[in-house]
Amino acid sequence: MPQPDAEIPEVARIAADLIRFDTSNFGGGDAKGEREAAEYVGAYLESLGLEPEYYEPIPRRTNVMARVPGRDASKPALVVHGHLDVVPAMAGDWSVDPFAGLIQDGMLWGRGAVDMKNMNAMILTSIAEILRAGEQPERDLILVFFADEENGGVEGSALVVQNRPEWFAGATEAISEVGGYSIPVGDRRAYLLQVGEKALLWIRLVAKGRAGHGSRFHPDNAVTKLAEAVAAIGRTPWPIHLTATTRDFLDRMSALSGLPVDDPDALAATAGPAEAFLRSTLRTTTNPTVLQAGYKHNVIPERAEALIDVRVIPGMEDEVLDQLRTLVGEDIELEMVVQDIGMETPFAGDLVDAMVAALERHDPGVPVIPYLLGAGTDNKALAFLGITGYGFAPLRLPADLDFTGMFHGVDERVPIDALVFGQRVLTDLLRTY
């Protein structure tokens, strides 16, 4: 049942407010609500005595930034960033209104509860706790909330980095989403710290043929050609390809589970609901996502298109593209829609140590394991400024909650006590690092 407002922690209330802004991003410049969400964030920052700046490179694609002075100006600044857009939600598929920000049964429900309005709320309320106490963070913090992350950041972080590099003056590191959360490993718990991201290739397949009547003998059918190409890509089993990060991940999972290190998929399976998410970090993935063709049941179209979401182990981009061209054949045009870099950073250094220590203070004895994110974040854009990015949105989650499966999924939700835990850990980190 819904929770009374008086019992709702501030971090959950802010996250619910953000969910109520429908910031659906359909891609290709078709998005809404980002300006309104950015103005809400800006007003919250102003209430803390900060001076937010806005940058809108394209009308209504709004980014907002505020700098928080730290106690030690000699230390490099830390970027703490999130994105305000979400992928669309088909309301009929959900058991609740995806944009109502409903809090019930100890959970916050809605599009963005997992990706990533939860983290946005943790950032805002962590800063609020520090500043309201009359304190400062250890070093300058650069708080940034981007538009268009769900379309590869091409109308968001990429343009901010290009046109507002001064926002990031003095920064060398960044933290954002898709790391810091807990997973089960057998009957134990561990936290994943994201230290890398696969490369992003969003491609379009185009098949052409002869238009004609749906009743005729018609071997030159664009839909058939496309279907064969899509099936070839979708059914291709990409082999496991380990990097320094994924080898370290497997070694630590093996030590924790007692299973041999030479069966990566079996080790991933010990993580329960997170299995599929972790298996994707070990190999390239090529998933068909959109098919477009035709306009009437009895008309054979002359053109058919498909969109394929390709996530590549860093350094293998050219090899994978060559394989894809071979798979689809000469009759299919392969167009690049969005291409972005892969990244990998050692699981070492002062910031890594500080994140691990913050989790240890709030959940003693639980190991932290580095991993390579199968998806991508706005850290890719910041990398062009020489800023090293990590995923650290700390959440202590129930073992049976399919948290990773709710990224872009149906009935997205996060436990309230996980948000409270995360805000506490993040506040600790920002106070001390």
Q: What's the CATH code of the domain at 220?
A: 3.30.70.360
Query: Are residues 148 and 252 both part of a single domain?
Result: no
Residues 276, 365 within the same domain: no
Residues 155 and 248 in one domain: no
Question: Residue 301: what are its φ and ψ, rounded to 5°?
Answer: -80, 160
Residue 361 belongs to a domain: yes
Say if residue 71 is in the same domain as residue 220: no
21 belongs to a structural domain: yes
Residue 278 makes CB contacts below 8 A (sequence gap 6+) with 183, 268, 271, 371, 404
Instruction: Choose the final residue of a domain: 340, 361, 379.
Output: 340
Residues 71 and 26 in one domain: yes
Q: Is residue 193 part of a domain?
A: no
Model pLDDT, residue 335: 97
pLDDT in tens, 108-145: 999 999 999 999 999 999 999 999 999 999 999 999 99
- Please tell me whether residues 105 and 210 are part of one structural domain: no
- Residue 43 located in a structural domain: yes
Same domain, 220 and 336: yes
Per-residue pLDDT tens digits for 218-250: 999 999 999 999 999 999 999 999 999 999 999
pLDDT given at position 405: 84
* Contact (Cβ atoms closer than 8 angstroms) between residue 379 and residue 174: yes
**Residue 145 is part of a domain; what is its CATH number?**
3.40.630.10
In a domain, 192, yes or no: no
Q: Which residues of the chain have pLDDT under 70?
A: 1-6
Does one domain contain both 24 and 63? yes
* Residues 73 and 126 placed together within one structural domain of the fold: yes
Residue 187: the pLDDT is 87
Among the three residues 298, 322, 340, which one is the final residue of a domain in this structure?
340
Same domain membership, residue 347 and residue 333: no
pTM exceeds 0.75 for this model: yes
354: domain range? 5-187+342-432
The answer as to whether 411 is a domain residue is yes
Number of domains in the chain: 2
233 plus 150 within the same structural domain: no
Do 180 and 274 lie in one domain? The reply is no
pLDDT of residue 198: 96
